[in-house]
Amino acid sequence: KLEIDTTKAVHPVSPMLYGLMTEEINHSYEGGLYAQVLGNHTFRGANWELVRNGNAKAEVEIDKTTGPSPALPTSEKLSVKQASPANEAGLSNTGNWGIPAYAHSLYHGELYAKTDLDSTLPLRVQLIDDDTGAVLASTTVNVSPGGWQRYEYKLTTSNLVPSSTNHVEFTVARSGTLWLQMVTLFPPTYNNRPNGNRIDLMEKMAAMHPHFLRLPGGNYLEGDTLNDWYDWRKTIGPLVDRPGHPSPWRYWSTDGFGLLEFMDWCEDLHIEPVLAVYAGYALQHQVVQPGKDLEPYVQTALDEVEYVAGDVSTKWGAERAKDGHPKPFPLTYIEIGNEDFFDKVPGSYSARFEQFALALRKKYPQYKLIATNKVTVSRSAEPDVLDDHYYKSPAAMFDIVHQYDDAPRNGMKIFVGEWATRSGSPTPDFGDALGDAAWMTGLERNSDVIVMASYAPLLVNVHGMQWSTDLIGYDALQSYGSPSYYAQCLFAEHLGDQVVNSSIDGAADKFFYSATVSTESKILHLKLVNASNLQQDLDLNLLGARAGVAKLYSLHAGSYQATNSITKPEAIMPVESTVKITRQYTVPAYTIQIVDIPLK
């Protein structure tokens, strides 16, 4: 028997409950959200091949003696001994597992080049179909004699069948030496932002109705060693001034997608950043000693907050304005570190947290501070929120759905900054979606204590995965939502502002529910999750709700293993219908339902 009294509010739903969390993992940005389509555009690895057409003669090597900026002091040196208009030589870029060709589209590119010739060197840029050799778009960049210069170029496609089996060639028709660095190419981006984001992925995130973005990680914040931390200062300003750094997820990050790009992303989705500042702990278990050694990092965190939220009269606010965004970004939460429960030095995190917290509170008393582990600190340094992380199998997730039901209501607030039910790969299967939906019923029921929650990781390039079970999958051309993705879209879209009184008696195994009410639109959002292989018959008693027809959103599959994939992106999709609400109500096996019922 499930009884819901919509007239009795238990507590408000946290207005920021659902949000996003990503980092540079699984080619989330490079080869993912960051729309730049050339692979390894600062020549730090593979993705570039030598082109020698016909009898052309040429060699290529990394030149460590010259580059366009102190941040990028090396370059790709192309030495052409023989070439002609019929037999060109140059470089080819294979993208990140392909380069997307879209019909009737304008691509914007940028490159730095230098030549040893005394006259202009025409550099031909072509988007070419791998299979047919057809040129899909082409232009010429005239490289002037002299030193390093920046060039912009454009490619325009016409009618074509969209594909990712393409590459871009940069070729010359005469002998001489050409140095290249920082070569980028962007198809149209979300909101037409320069240096912007992939449209399909932004649209998928917008459909999740998020309220915040936790950034920049995850392990990506910390880095493997103390040298590899996310130093945001090296990720801002012109791309040519960003040196890049190794991501702990084992590939190079150019930092073309830097701190301001994270902020633009928030702005485009109309959400707030939850800004994680580096707190002096590296994944290889090294720590910066609290006290004098930690001071520069504390100062860097204060500066970072100023870059994000300070006005233009401040040093770093002015720097942000110079970078193109005078308006400060909204900010409520600052997180200090990531998963510092892995730090085994006794008392280290408490001392590090305290040093950051005191400095942050002194300068910015308005922000709420998030700790990543329990800390013992002075009263004025106490965190406002604790970040809890959960990665579980479906069975283990079902077991912890009621984890926060008995949490003290006057204790510290909780941010579930990373959570996921994990069994599918590269993206969650339907069993995971059931685990996730069950877990979300607990998040909603306890959303007086849990102020925010974000699934992790969010993104995976299906060809470049480091971490299995990621919410949204994609290749160079297309993307798809996992069953868990659709469960999250539904849960976030149909969420009220009040949790209402409810009770269940005699529920079968693996049955979960949540009941929230939208006060203004007068709707009860009843979420029902049946993760068992048997239908669940309910005796439904809805007080204050209107009898009759309700809207039903249903996600169903025949097994836990059923899933979506890059080749079958829509195998499992929400189905919208109407349902007559009667006292006898049945939830089919393996089903997630959201029933929107009008109130009296």
Beta bridge partners of 3: 503, 541
Q: Shortest gap between Cβ of 390 and ligand AHR (angstroms)?
A: 11
From 327, 36, 388, 49, select the one nearest 198 (Cα to Cα). Answer: 36
Q: Which window, 29-37, 78-86, 152-160, 213-221, contacts ligand AHR (CB under 6 A)?
A: 213-221
Give the span between the Cα atoms of 393 and 186, in whole angstroms: 39
Q: Which is closer to ligand AHR, CB of 5 or CB of 224?
A: 224
For the window 410-429, what string marks contact with ligand AHR as x by the rule CB under 6 A?
--------x-----------
Q: Which is closer to ligand AHR, CB of 107 or CB of 220?
A: 220
State the pairing for strand pair 385-392/368-371. Answer: parallel
Q: Shortest gap between Cβ of 351 and ligand AHR (angstroms)?
A: 21
Element (H, E) at 489: helix 483-493
From 485, 494, 396, 391, select the one nearest 441 (Cα to Cα). Answer: 494
Q: Shortest gap between Cβ of 338 and ligand AHR (angstroms)?
A: 5
Q: Which two tokens stand for residue 18?
A: 């659902």
Q: Which window, 84-92, 215-223, 268-276, 563-571, contacts ligand AHR (CB under 6 A)?
A: 215-223
Q: Shortest gap between Cβ of 563 and ligand AHR (angstroms)?
A: 20
84 CB contacts (<8 Å, ≥6 apart)?
56, 173, 174
19 CB contacts (<8 Å, ≥6 apart)?
210, 211, 212, 213, 214, 271, 274, 452, 453, 454
Q: Which window, 106-114, 146-154, 216-224, 538-546, contacts ligand AHR (CB under 6 A)?
A: 216-224
Q: Shortest gap between Cβ of 283 and ligand AHR (angstroms)?
A: 9
Q: Shortest gap between Cβ of 348 and ligand AHR (angstroms)?
A: 18
- Residue 218 interacts with ligand AHR (CB under 6 A): yes or no: yes
Coil, strand or helix at 302 = helix
Q: Shortest gap between Cβ of 176 and ligand AHR (angstroms)?
A: 46
Give the span between the Cα atoms of 80 and 194, in whole angstroms: 33
Q: Which window, 214-222, 225-233, 433-441, 474-482, contacts ligand AHR (CB under 6 A)?
A: 214-222
Give the span between the Cα atoms of 366 and 481, in whole angstroms: 37
- Residue 219 interacts with ligand AHR (CB under 6 A): yes or no: yes
Beta bridge partners of 575: 554
Q: Which is closer to ligand AHR, CB of 250 or CB of 292?
A: 250
Contacts with ligand AHR by CB under 6 A: the residue count is 10
Q: Shortest gap between Cβ of 471 and ligand AHR (angstroms)?
A: 11
- Residue 23 interacts with ligand AHR (CB under 6 A): yes or no: yes
Residue nearest to ligand AHR as judged by C-beta position: 218
Coil, strand or helix at 372 = coil
Quote the DSSP letter at residue 546.
P
Q: Shortest gap between Cβ of 484 and ligand AHR (angstroms)?
A: 14
From 328, 317, 326, 211, select the one nearest 272 (Cα to Cα). Answer: 211
Q: Which is closer to ligand AHR, CB of 277 or CB of 552?
A: 277
- Alpha-carbon separation of residue 403 from 445, 487, 511 (angstroms): 11, 20, 15
- The amino acid that residue 115 corresponds to is T
Tell me the DSSP string of 82-108.
Answer: E-BTTB-EEEEE-BTTB--B-TT-EEE
Q: Shortest gap between Cβ of 220 and ligand AHR (angstroms)?
A: 6
Q: Which is closer to ligand AHR, CB of 125 or CB of 385?
A: 385
Selected binder of ligand AHR within 217, 280, 317, 464 (CB under 6 A): 217
From 276, 275, 263, 272, select the one nearest 326 (Cα to Cα). Answer: 263
For the window 453-492, what string marks contact with ligand AHR as x by the rule CB under 6 A?
---xx---------x-------------------------
- Residue 196 interacts with ligand AHR (CB under 6 A): yes or no: no
Selected binder of ligand AHR within 166, 338, 488, 554 (CB under 6 A): 338
Q: Shortest gap between Cβ of 516 and ligand AHR (angstroms)?
A: 28
Residues that bind ligand AHR (CB under 6 A): 23, 217-219, 338-339, 418, 456-457, 467
